Amino acid sequence: MATDAGSIRLDGQSLTRAQVLAVARGAAVELDEAQLSKVQRAADFLRDMVARQEPIYGVSTGFGSNADKLLGAHRIRPGGDPHESVLEELQRNLIVTHAVCVGEPFAADVVRAMLVIRINTLMRGHSGIRVETLRAQADLLNAGIVPVVPQKGSVGASGDLAPLSHLAIVLLGGGEAFYQGVRMPGGEALRRAGLQPVTLSHKEGLALNNGTAQMLATGVLAAAKLETLLDTADLAGATTLDAFAGRMRAFDEHVHALRPHPGQVESAGNLRRLLGGSTLVDIAYHLVPRFKSWTPASWSTPAQQALGFDIGWDWVPLDQRHGRERFYARFRPFRGGKKHQPQDSYSLRCIPQVHGAVRDALAQAQRVLDIELNAVTDNPLLFPDLAGAREIEDQVVSAGHFHGMPLALAMSYLKAAIPVLASISERRTNKLVDPATSDGLPAFLIGNEDGTESGFMIVQYTAAALVNDLCSRAHPASVYSIPTSANAEDHVSMGANEGRHVLDMCEDMGRVLALELYTAAQALDYRRDMINAARNLARAGDVEALAAKVQGAPLPGSPDRAAFLGEVELLRAELAAADEFQPGAPVAAVLRRLREEIPFMARDRAMDGEVGRVCELVLSGALLEASKVKP
């Protein structure tokens, strides 16, 4: 298949997650010629052992609970292909009887990832497959043939037998495949691509279908998505922090040096970068007005009336300041939209600790994936050149490398981590729309002067539904082993289910983050515009106009009136002296990108298309890319 994605050389020892992703997206593969000599050495060794009539599992014996059945030179029951030996029939039957998965087919990227992983492990030269069979599998991949692999049917030991059989059956000219976007019989796909079916030799069926390629492929693809989503989660959290005019000191570098979990340190640093240059975070309490509903009398100029909202503060009377004189010497005695407290709620303040813990879970999973990518996972294992070997059992070893538990537990960890990341995001979304917790933003982020508007109310419902669904799916499959093969395989990993679940869950995780960003953008526009409206009013120089926005003010003639106006003047001067308030530069760039397609919502409108579009922008990485502005 012609490709612009380059070619990946496979040697069985150096495959990376990035290379798997490249092949999944269309890159071709080539086989390392030096390593192929080791592949052929193992195949020749196996051929010699068969010629000596040595009993070898899966070669001259049956499989699983049939391992005690020794194969003879001739069939007991008449029939079968007279041109096919009993040993060849064993390998063919293994594939055709094991290709029994059900459900919707895996996407092409998953299947291509499975193929490159399987080819790479066979390149190690411990499986007994012939070079020509391995080349045929690489040719199938490079030709763009995508075997139809239904998603459900593997228990994760002995490896992914059933799904890998769906890969292999197309090599034999059976099964089904997609070729040039069309689903067709596997033999027809081979014919159209100019390829010939393969006749399997000793152990080749077992080499092709006995391994962890499905769970590993889904794990690699899921890890890549989650890595992007973690950066997106930091971006969503930073946007929400700007919308809250939140507090930054909880993310200081010296703070996290005291508890240096790697993921936590990384997320804290990411937040500092994303919020770099923000004049909203750490703003003084008294400068932040709260939302008030717009009325015809709210503003005096046409430009002000166009704002669609009013602003206000409460004045703290002199007789309520006793014992707090030092505080009010530092901060003006006005209560607006930012609470007089030194810390934000957990969903804001603990972003590094929560996002960072998920980062560390991903790092652990990636460590496992990296080992597995260059591991040999079939059975039995061949050691044709083992020094000191005295008998066949030293060189042909039945072991358990097909068991998927290392991957299964790593994926279980991610399954538990994904709802954690989604949950804290949904809590931030809820905090933004709830007037009891939004620090002075309008209820559901809409003006609602006439009581007819719902704004972003139901966006949070959708996020809540997604989080609940993710939590329901997070239960580990790996704790439920169901024995198979008449109890010969009496403990299995269920790692294939774990990997498939994690890959699917990443999509909904991205949607939760998209809903937060959609909501936070609306909130951030309100917060920025409200503070800048106060600044513009202050710059007009009319103390009485600013005083009119303050509730609880002493009436004209009151002995406290002069003190009140003096304090309003100090507030006015501080606002007037400030530059225009802005979010962090990366957050601002993301807001601009979002606003190119989804405008601020001044009044209720249909939101379904917008929700779909913001999900696309998040899942495609477009919003994350927009955040990568140079400082």
Instruction: Encode pLDDT of 569-583 as tens digits.
Output: 999 999 999 999 999
Tokens of 325: 């004189």
- Contact status, residue 31 vs residue 24, Cβ threshold 8 Å: no
**Confidence tier at 404 by pLDDT (50, 70, 90):** very high
Instruction: Encode pLDDT of 244-259 as tens digits.
Output: 999 999 999 999 999 9
Instruction: Encode pLDDT of 357-384 as tens digits.
Output: 999 999 999 999 999 999 999 989 999 9
- Tell me how far apart the alpha carbons of residues 40 and 134 are, in angstroms, rounded to a whole number: 10
**The pLDDT of residue 72 is above 80:** no
Spatial CA neighbour of 239 closest among 593, 519, 619? 519
Residue type, 622: A
Instruction: Give the pLDDT confidence score for residue 330 in this predicted structure.
Output: 86
DSSP 104: E
Lowest mean per-residue pLDDT among 70-74, 302-306, 534-538: 70-74
Residue 486 falls in which region: left (phi positive, over 0), alpha (psi -120 to 50) or beta: left
Catalytic residue from among 57, 328, 346, 413: 57
Tokens of 12: 């069985």
Domains plus CATH for the chain? 7-211 (1.10.275.10), 214-379+400-631 (1.20.200.10)
- Tell me how far apart the alpha carbons of residues 514 and 261 are, in angstroms, rounded to a whole number: 27
Spatial CA neighbour of 489 closest among 68, 214, 156, 211? 156
Q: What angle do CA 593, 599, 602 make, to 5 degrees?
A: 145
Spatial CA neighbour of 401 closest among 425, 382, 379? 379
* Catalytic residue flag (residue 285): no
- Tell me how far apart the alpha carbons of residues 398 and 72 are, in angstroms, rounded to a whole number: 21
- Output the average pLDDT for the chain: 94
Tokens of 614: 């913001």
Helix (H, G, I), strand (E, B) or coil at 315: strand
Rounded mean pLDDT, 551-561: 93
- Tell me how far apart the alpha carbons of residues 243 and 439 are, in angstroms, rounded to a whole number: 10
CA dihedral 250, 255, 261, 266 (to 10 degrees): 60
**Confidence tier at 316 by pLDDT (50, 70, 90):** very high
**The pLDDT of residue 489 is above 90:** no
**The pLDDT of residue 306 is above 70:** yes
Helices (H) and strands (E) in the chain, counts: 24, 13
